[in-house]
Structure 1
């Protein structure tokens, strides 16, 4: 599966200067649902987040925090993705974790074939004010597993760190971020919900992926993200994702 992977970071096909209405159906076949597959689970596929095909079409980028932990002793449960076949039909495929960047909350998965249409990672950072679109599965299966697109702009490039509010907030992920310092992210003026995480941030003009959605600013609780979203969303730049992809597929 991993043979002949040179140049994956720039793989995929860009969609040049076409309306969003034409871009959406092209991208749908590349955006997958990421989760777990369990023989004893109900439903068997447990949705966690979005992801999208890159490189040779057999690799998926998503968020690190949504990838289920692999437990060798549990042969009845594994990482999986669901691929859209059109007309509301989904196909479950097995997946394997190839690489993870916990600091930037990114992960690369290898999936079973056949290859999906790959999205191209932009080689340059998007400018502030650029029009973007997000695609994912808002609120997961609660509304049905349907590709949904939100539109917005790149509102800023910012350095972000996530200090904990007291010792109770110092989980391992927060500790790692505090130790490694602030890192550069895109701030978007676009509403995102749980289920959008891990999906592509698309430059509407070129169709290229300029970022991987991380999540949104939450006012108080996780429930508030559903009832009163802030409209402030963060994404990891495509250049960071490209480096992880290249490292993971050497």
Structure 2
């Protein structure tokens, strides 16, 4: 009896890894590095964050703060994505198609041939304890533009804003969140790094996108009272991305 229970417990993580082994090759061609390109500077490519192909394959989802930088037309600077593993022409121009600062999501329109689009989950929220993985570019180009995968669980579905003990702990972003409808996000039991903003959070068995990793926007609202960042990873539920895509023509 004890032997049977022990074997069952050991098999669970093995199955999760087996699912990822099959799913990752399908997802990697869809995950891109978002940045700007300027021929006269060094390095020519400036990394900003992660994105992934959705919809027709000519749309790239990412965080709004990733593409909030100003682009210098005078210096011939362009907003681009880099498709890792592609042959010649891996760097592709993009343009902003839709930006929602309230959810910190953005959709970019890709020039040229489409990329394989990731499937978005239909669920508004997934249950706490759900197994997840996310793929992106931790630390950006410092580690090379190779997509890296982390896995964990949804540790909590939590409001983005927490009421504070006194007014000195409030900031404008938190006031807006507390005054409006409750905006719930995923708290993940997995560590993301600078560069993972915009990474797809997906089901490790099906590859369906469940959310989008977000570090700057959520922490600036949820953890504003902390003197030191907690290192906790958050993600925006994919339902907000589906809503934004409906505005893209």
Q: What TM-score do you get using the length of structure 1 for normalisation? A: 0.79
How much has 1:39 moved relative to structure 2? Answer: 2.3
| TM superposition shift of 1:182 | 4.3
Alignment-derived partner of residue 10 in structure 1: none
- What per-residue deviation string (whole Å, max 9, x for no partner) do you get for residues 28-58 of structure 1? 1000000111122211111010000000000
* Between 34-43 and 94-103, the greater mean CA deviation after superposition: 34-43
Q: Which residue of 2 aligns with 1:121?
A: 120
Q: CA deviation at 1:63?
A: 0.4
Q: Which residue of 2 aligns with 1:8?
A: none
2:47 counterpart residue number: 47
Kindly state the Cα deviation for residue 205 of structure 1 after the two structures are TM-superposed. 2.4
- Structure having the higher strand fraction is 1
Q: Equivalent residue for 2:158?
A: 158
Q: How many residues align?
A: 224
CA distance in structure 1 between the partners assigned to 2:40 and 2:74 by the alignment: 11
Distance 1:128 1:163, change over 3 A: closer
DSSP-derived class of the 2:119 partner: coil
Superimposed CA distance per residue, residues 158-188 of structure 1 (whole angstroms, 9 cap, x where no aligned partner): 11127899989957x6676566464111111
Structure 1 residue runs without a partner (length 5+): 1-17
Change (3 A) 1:163 1:62: farther
Deviations 1:126-163 (A, max 9, x none): 22111100100110111111110000001111111278
CA separation of 1:105 and 1:113: change in aligned 2, threshold 3 A: same
Counterpart of 1:189? 189
Does the 8 A contact of 2:37 with 2:44 survive in 1? Answer: yes
Post-superposition offset of 1:24? 1.1
Identify the residue that residue 234 of structure 1 maps to in structure 2.
Answer: 234
Correspondences of 1:23-102 after superposition (within 5 Å): 23-71=23-71, 73-74=73-74, 76-86=76-86, 91-102=90-101
Q: Does 1:146 align with 2:146?
A: yes
Q: Whole-Å Cα distance in 2 between the matches of residues 36 and 176 of structure 1?
A: 31
The two structures, once aligned, show a CA RMSD in angstroms of 3.0
**Matches of 1:77 and 1:174, distance apart in 2:** 34
Moved more, 18-27 or 145-154: 18-27
Partner of 1:3: none
For the structure 1 residues 175 and 51, does the alpha-carbon distance in structure 2 shift closer, same or farther, using more than 3 Å as the test? Answer: farther
TM-score by length of 2: 0.79
Segments of structure 2 that go 5 or more residues without pairing to the other structure are: 1-17
Is contact 1:126-1:203 (8 Å) kept? no
- Give the Å deviation of 1:246: 1.2
Q: CA deviation at 1:212?
A: 0.6
Distance 1:142 1:199 in 2: 17
Change in 2 beyond 3 A, CA 1:94/1:169 = farther
| Paired position in structure 1 for 2:199 | 199
Q: Using a 3 Å threshold, how does the CA distance of structure 1 residues 44 and 178 change in structure 2: closer, same or farther?
A: farther
